[in-house]
Structure 1
Amino acid sequence: MASLLQLSEYTHPVIVLKPSLTSLLPSSSRPRQQDYRTQPRISPPKASLQQSSSSSSSSLTRREFASQTAAISVSLLAAPPARSEDALSEWERVYLPIDPGVVLLDIAFVPDDLNHGFLLGTRQTIMETKDGGNTWAPRSIPSAEDEDFNYRFNSISFRGKEGWIVGKPAILLYTSDAGESWDRIPLSSQLPGDVVYIKATGEKSAELVTDEGAIYVTSNRGYNWRAAVQETVSATLNRTVSSGISGASYYTGTFNTVNRSPDGRYVAVSSRGNFYLTWEPGQPFWQPHNRTIARRIQNMGWRADGGLWLLVRGGGLYLSKGTGITEEFEEVQVQSRGFGILDVGYRSEEEAWAAGGSGILLRTTNGGKTWTRDKAADNIAANLYSVKFINDSKGFVLGNDGVLLRYLG
């Protein structure tokens, strides 16, 4: 492994989560509405000798009937509205058997078996599905269970039957049999920063990224790693601060988000959101870029056509002019209601979905020129952090409080 740089202490970014609202009830928990047709029939009073008792019985029956009728009316008035996820035209909610408060962070499926997938999150959460994501069950991996740590699993990636999982504190898991068994691969204690992303790139090969900008590649199942950049972003900025990168003097040395394009290019947002950085294979250093937008950057990523999308705090969405790496962006009008948009996922070059705080869910069908809000998702009591499309027919939205939406289109 290439020699690692000695780094100064830095401050980890903190994500402040919106408190959970009242959980949505599954269909089995809804109150049943009574049917008027099932009400008891009132019999007419009988003849003289039984008149008194039958009158009393008839009167009692009338009171019961009136009471039940009133109860039905109250029940109908008080019945909760249909769950918002039931009304979603393209998505449905999948309920998970996990602890409240878990934030879902990444999802991946085995390429040779798209019914078999894994879901990661905070609080040492690893879940597995074998029916395409309809149902999920907790997965126990003995090598990832340590009494001294409560792992946050950040990223998962598959290529063929080989898969990789990384998390914090530093942990790396590897499978060669489509996740039936997982081995733990040791990581150096001198690794710069926390591992936030991994990408399976070929047979026994992967690319690993830390929140301090270190990029390492392996071609032998993780036994050895080679540095793809010569220095961390802190060192890069110390050299280039005089070149006019606004806000670099306040840089804390960590990424807020990092996203990889299919051809291996990266875009990352500084932890303060005051500028962004890019890297392409073969470049020795990260390239810092000034933001041309007044508001701080929330997240950035790659469009299906090779261009960039950019989100700013407060709900703004921008698209780059043309494709490739650029500093020129145009704002797109979206109905975010002031809530922050946190991620964008492309299903195709024309169709994409954006998700964010307080259940914001937006859709475009013309490459991002216009966006419409799916209002039926407004009452989902969660922040939606990630949009992942496995292919054009399988997609998921991940959020806090264990919220998982599955694409139905």
Structure 2
Amino acid sequence: MAMMTPNIQATDCSNLIPSLTSLFPPRPLHRPLSLPHSRFISKASLHHPSSPSSSSSSPPSLVSRRQLISQTASLSLSLATLLSLPLPAKSEEVLSEWERVYLPIDPGVVLLDIAFVPDDLNHGFLLGTRQTILETKDGGNTWTQRSIPSAEDEDFNYRFNSISFKGKEGWIVGKPAILLYTSDAGESWERIPLSAQLPGDMVYIKATSEKSAEMVTDQGAIYVTSNRGYNWRAAVQETVSATLNRTVSSGISGASYYTGTFNTVNRSPDGRYVAVSSRGNFYLTWEPGQPFWQPHNRAIARRIQNMGWRADGGLWLLVRGGGLFLSKGTGISEDFEEVPVQSRGFGILDVGYRSEEEAWAAGGSGILLRTTNGGKNWTRDKAADNIAANLYSVKFINDKKGFVLGNDGVLLRYLG
């Protein structure tokens, strides 16, 4: 069905509760042995200990050559053992490239998105479930809770899904349907009314230029505005369900079981989208100017967990169970090759690129992986293994500022 530009009016939504889901003690070094080094053994140290049969007037007897060799060997062995002992472990282990930032929120809050004001990279906002909005003004070292009066007027427990800034203008979308806008870098937020006929839940928003933004719902609707949200224009002509109903006979595997919603959606810097079906059995892409989403069969046996864009313009693909694949070449492709990763059997949930060569991947049970050659090889950051949380979002604001978001209020800040 064709999507019409919705009239901007307030909507009532039902209350919807969010549903996302050793250090060893230091080993003290042994006290250094009180044996002198063999090259500094004096004559006095070569005397035999006194015995009942010897008298004080008796001349000291020197050790034999065999005894001297035996003492020297024992001393060398003791020194070698001493030097081979490991250094004591620090009482508080610091992540090699990341540090944990503790937040003033309930442990059950799931963090969902983070963004900073481009003109002031010390000023940022962090979103999550349970109507969580946190604000920092020191680059992410400390965070304070922020309340939005227009979001507290109704008895809803909002889940804030996405945030984006362009200059001092910022946008926030959440579920149940809510849209917030700021023109003063987040000092104040106003609520923009939305149509009750909006197809699906808003899961992503991108500030594109002055008073302009792009908004995506989990049913594949893409809307754009150029007048700070007063009017929205549909960028695609139909929802993904309608597209698949037309193309179900075109050979898309699993389309007949499609539920009509996205599991994940990611946007490239030049405006292209890649989205994974809710069942993970195929994926879809969209480029500016196309009237419909383009479905693609997956070339991998396992179901897709997430997909996104590399810094060089290619695609990365994660499958359930921990597999990581990279597309061959750049642009939209159906040709992928697997790269080995040390995931320890835990699923990898997201990948974030710091540059074309360096990227980080995060996953279940504190998995953190790093590549420095564009994704060909990955190494595991073992220092994050003691974080008992799933890490599922990696976001680099620039090459010096990055964050990893997890459940139970876990936030990691990049130190590099």
Match of 1:93 among 74, 94, 100: 100
Q: Assess if the C-alpha contact under 8 Å between 1:279 and 1:287 holds in 2.
A: yes
Partner residue, 1:287: 294
**Distance apart, 1:88 and its partner CA:** 1.2
Deviations 1:7-46 (A, max 9, x none): xxxxx9x9763xxxx9x9xxxxxx9xxxxxxxxxxxxxxx
Q: Alpha-carbon deviation of 1:144?
A: 1.1
Distance of 1:200 and 1:181 partners within structure 2: 17
Task: Write the letter of the residue equivalent to 1:145.
Answer: E
Tell me the CA shift for residue 2 of structure 1. Answer: 5.8
The aligned residue for residue 152 of structure 1 is 159
User: What is the SS of the residue equivalent to 1:109?
Assistant: strand
**Aligned pairs for 1:223-242 within 5 A:** 223-242=230-249
The amino acid across from 1:131 in the alignment is D
Percent of pairs identical after alignment?
90
Distance 1:219 1:2, change over 3 A: farther
* Counterpart position of 2:176: 169
Equivalent position amino acid for 2:402 in 1:
G
SS across alignment from 1:368: coil
Letter in 2 for 1:391: N
Tell me what 1:346 maps to: 353
Residue 102, structure 1, aligned to residue 103, structure 2: no
Matches within 5 A, 1:234-383: 234-383=241-390
Shift of 1:146: 3.7
Which residue of 1 is the match for residue 128 of structure 2? Answer: 121
Which amino acid is 1:92 matched to?
E
The residue aligned with 1:3 is 4
CA distance in 2, matches of 1:261, 1:215: 15
| Candidates 210, 219, 229, aligned match of 1:212 | 219
Is residue 135–residue 145 contact of structure 2 (8 Å, CA) maintained in 1?
yes
Task: Measure, in 2, the Cα distance between the counterparts of 1:99 and 1:372.
Answer: 32
Structure 2: which 5+ residue stretches go unaligned?
7-15, 26-88
RMSD over aligned CA atoms reads 2.1
Residue equivalent to 1:203: 210
Matched, 1:404 2:378: no
May I ask how many residue pairs the two structures share in their alignment? 342
Q: How far, CA to CA, are the matches of 1:225 and 1:215 in structure 2?
A: 10
1:3 CA displacement: 1.6
Distance in 1 separating the partners of 2:135 and 2:155: 24
Q: CA deviation at 1:81?
A: 8.0
Cα separation, 2, equivalents of 1:82 and 1:339: 28
Question: Aligned partner of 1:346: which letter?
Answer: Y
SS of the equivalent of 1:209 reads strand
Q: Deviations over 1:179-209 (max 9, x none)?
A: 0000000011100000000000000000000
Is this contact kept in 2: 1:205–1:218, CA < 8 A?
Answer: yes
SS in 1 for 2:179: strand
1:111 and 2:118 aligned: yes
Q: SS of the counterpart of 2:113? A: strand
Q: Partner of 1:397: helix, strand, or coil?
A: strand
1:191 pairs, out of 195, 198, 220, with 198
- The one-character-per-residue Cα deviations of 1:281-326 (angstroms, maximum 9, x if unpaired) are 0000000000000000000000000000000000000000000001
Is residue 107–residue 117 contact of structure 1 (8 Å, CA) maintained in 2?
yes
TM-score with structure 2 setting the length: 0.80
Aligned residue identity for 1:268: A
- Alpha-carbon offset, residue 354 of structure 1: 0.1
1:311–1:318 Cα contact (<8 Å) kept: yes
Residue aligned with 2:397, SS: strand
User: Paired residue for 1:70?
Assistant: none
State whether residues 4 and 192 of structure 1, in contact with CA within 8 Å, keep that contact through their aligned partners in structure 2.
Answer: no
TM-score by length of 1: 0.81
Q: For residue 104 of structure 2, what is the amino acid of its counterpart?
A: P
Structure 1 residue 148, shift from structure 2 partner: 1.8
Q: Is 1:2–1:225's contact at 8 Å kept on the other side of the alignment?
A: no
Determine helix, strand or coil for the equivalent of 1:238. Answer: helix
Decide whether the 8 Å contact of 1:118 with 1:128 is kept in 2. Answer: yes
2:45 corresponds to: none
Deviation digits for residues 217-245 of structure 1 (CA, Å, limit 9, x no counterpart): 00000000000000000000000000000
Of residues 133, 141, 149, the one that matches 2:148 is 141
Distance in 1, Cα, partners of 2:263 & 2:91: 37
Read off the aligned partner of 2:235 and give its amino acid letter. A
The reply on whether 1:385 has 2:392 as its aligned counterpart is yes
Deviation sequence 1:214-271 (CA, Å, 0-9, x none): 0000000000000000000000000000000000000000000000000000000000
2:247 partner SS: helix
Whole-angstrom CA distance in 2 between matches of 1:408 and 1:356: 19
Q: Tell me the residue number matched to 2:55.
A: none
CA distance in 2, matches of 1:226, 1:352: 35
Q: Which amino acid aligns with 1:266?
A: Y
The Cα offsets for residues 374-404 of structure 1, whole Å up to 9 and x where unpaired, read as 0111110100010000000000000000000
Letter in 1 for 2:4: S
Structure 2 residue matching 1:239: 3-state secondary structure: helix
Q: CA deviation at 1:87?
A: 2.7
Partner of 2:185: 178
